[in-house]
Amino acid sequence: MSINAQVQQYLSDRPHAIGETVQFGWFIFRIVEVGRPSRIETLDFRKMASFTEDFTVVERIHALQTAALAEFNVSECPCSLRQYAQVSVSYSPERNDAFMERLRPTDGNDSGWYIGVCNDPCDMNNPSSFTLQSLYELTIHDSRMTPYWLLPSGIVISLSGKAITEQEVSCLK
């Protein structure tokens, strides 16, 4: 069943109004028109707060996330694209030594994700060495992260596209 059909089914027995947003799984949708079915939009994953009625990208993201869960043989650890990740100021989207590590979230807005770089020159004890960014913002700027957002804590993903070795994991700590 398509994501649009699943959201329509979810909305079918719940009150909703034009302009409201609805979280469904990792995604956020906006009600455009109430009816049977209602018209809904999804974020377009191209720029901040930009919506579209084309669900192609959402379907692709859902497929990538489902495939990553199957590849790692793990259950989904829910989070939302609205939640934030702690990000090293050394990180930039084009860095091949970038990695993602899922820790335990500290509060309801924290996804538990840390985005860093191997052998980071920043002082890990200095709060100014980090920023907070939404998972949506990170996805827009670095699509390499897209498949992995639902993986559980304890997972470390290299964004270089290759498996992380034990030596590389030790450099992350």
DSSP code for 125: T
Q: How far apart are CA 158 and CA 169, in angstroms?
A: 9
Q: What is the pLDDT along the chain (173 residues), one digit of tens a residue?
A: 899 999 999 999 999 999 999 998 889 999 999 988 899 999 999 988 899 999 999 999 999 999 999 999 999 999 999 999 999 999 999 899 999 999 998 888 999 999 999 988 888 888 899 999 999 999 999 999 999 999 999 999 999 866 555 555 555 54
Whether the CB-CB separation of 137 and 145 falls below 8 Å is answered with no
What is this structure's pTM? 0.87
The one-letter code for the residue type at 159 is L
Q: How far apart are CA 56 and CA 99, in angstroms?
A: 27
Q: Please report which residue ranges of the chain form alpha helices under DSSP H.
A: 3-11, 56-72, 135-141, 166-172
CA angle 150, 153, 157 (to 5 degrees): 70
Token code pair at residue 52:
């579209």
